[in-house]
Amino acid sequence: MDKLRVSLLGATGMVGQKMVRLLSNHPFIELTKVSASPGKIGKKYSEAVKWVEGGEIPQHATDLRVVSTEPEDHKDVDVVLSALPNELAEGIELKLVREGITVVSNASPFRMDPEVPLINPEVNWEHLKLLDTQRQKRGWKGLMVKNPNCTAAIMSMPIKPLLKYKLNNLIITTLQAVSGAGYNGLSFMSITNNVIPYIKGEEDKIPKESGKMLGRLNGDRIDHVELKAMVTSTRVPVKVGHMGVMYLFFDSQVNAEEVKNELSRFRSLPQEKNLPTAPKTPIRILEGEDRPQPEIDVRSENGMSISVGRVKNEGNAIRMVVLGDNLVRGAAGITILTLEVMRELGYV
């Protein structure tokens, strides 16, 4: 079988580097182009990047020459993956899609567009069906697929298997890692030995994006789930790993053991098809009373598995602490897993 040829936008950023790592030795995706800011065009990737991933730059990328984000530079690939910053993504991605290119993107523009699937593969791979009518409805020649905000990607996972119980209300306090703001997003002086109890835009995105992802495919549109969620987002001095302390309020009492069972046995298409980037256990239940912890748990299954601990009944509520790798499960990893699902379903 031929490999999928992909190019990567935003390849020198932190999420871009993570994708470069995840694509090394991929069985059927081949990174053939990298794109970065104009000043880097023409340079070898190894010269253009300030490699912060640790270890060496993977061989498959070192000698790639940086190209522009213009469509003509991406005509000969099957898919463009985008790790662009949000503020640059809208124009660049739209231009590519209009020119006939398929774009799978982490950036925020178009996430809430009703014709654009917002994919967290295990949660809502079915929503890719929106692609069947996207071209026609929008007049695009290519296809556009989005991945959610990193926190929404992580927190929506354990909610999915619990939707079968009647969920009324949700209270989440997040403790989010600094890498979520980008490599230079927060200065050492501002966040070390500190907590900043606010992240711009985040408290709205989590329920909105989760409401779409957890929604039901209804013909050629998504019926969003109405999540009555109260979210407080805080930034903590941790490099990688978004944690959420979640209270889920149900119509009636739900048993904690049952919840743990539902979560730990949750499987979806990526597991059934044994896709290369899919975690075997999408949601790990940890019984240790002091878990999950970023330093111990965030890299489980290469960062693609969500860790859940401290599951406990309190009346009609279930309390749980949820942790995921914001750079992998929340960004680079789901983009690649989304592409794997798209190929499985024949969209690429």
- Which residue's entry shows tokens 């071209």? 135
| Minimum CB distance to a copy of itself, residue 247 (Å) | 6
Which helix (H) or strand (E) covers residue 4, if one does? strand 4-9
C-beta closer to a copy of itself: residue 57 or 345: 57
In the complex, least distance from residue 53 CB atom to a copy of itself, rounded to whole angstroms:
9
- Residue number with CB closer to a copy of itself (28 or 198): 198
Active site residue 60: no
Return the structure tokens found at 192. 């070390």
How many residues does the structure list for the chain? Answer: 348
Pick the closest to residue 174 from 108, 230, 250, 109 (CA basis). Answer: 230
CB of 130 to a copy of itself, least distance (A): 32
Alpha-carbon gap, residue 242 to 179, rounded angstroms: 9
Instruction: Closer to a copy of itself by CB, 117 or 309: give it.
Output: 309
What does the block give as tokens for 180?
């979520």
Question: Which C-beta is closer to a copy of itself: that of 33 or that of 242?
Answer: 242
Closest CA to 175 of 194, 191, 154, 197: 197
Q: Which residues bind a copy of itself (CB under 8 A)?
A: 14, 51-52, 54-56, 171, 173, 175, 178-179, 183-198, 230, 232, 234, 236-239, 241, 243, 245, 247, 289-296, 299-300, 309-310, 314, 317, 319, 321
Catalytic residue among 26, 74, 127, 242: 242
Give min distance, CB of 24 to a copy of itself, in A.
16
Q: For this structure, is 150 an active site residue?
A: yes
Distance CA 308, CA 329 (A): 14
Spatial separation of the C-alpha atoms in residues 290 and 269, rounded to whole Å: 32
Q: What is the dihedral angle through the alpha carbons of 56, 61, 67, 71, rounded to the nearest 10 degrees? A: -130
Least distance in angstroms from the C-beta of 167 to a copy of itself: 16
Q: Which two tokens stand for residue 293?
A: 């912890």
Distance (Å) of CA 53 to CA 20, 41, 57, 62, 281:
10, 21, 8, 14, 25
Among the listed residues 26, 60, 150, 224, the single catalytic one is 150
Going by the DSSP 8-state scheme, the letter that residue 320 receives in this structure is: E
Q: For a copy of itself, which is the closer residue by CB, 193 or 218?
A: 193
Which are the catalytic amino acids? 150, 242
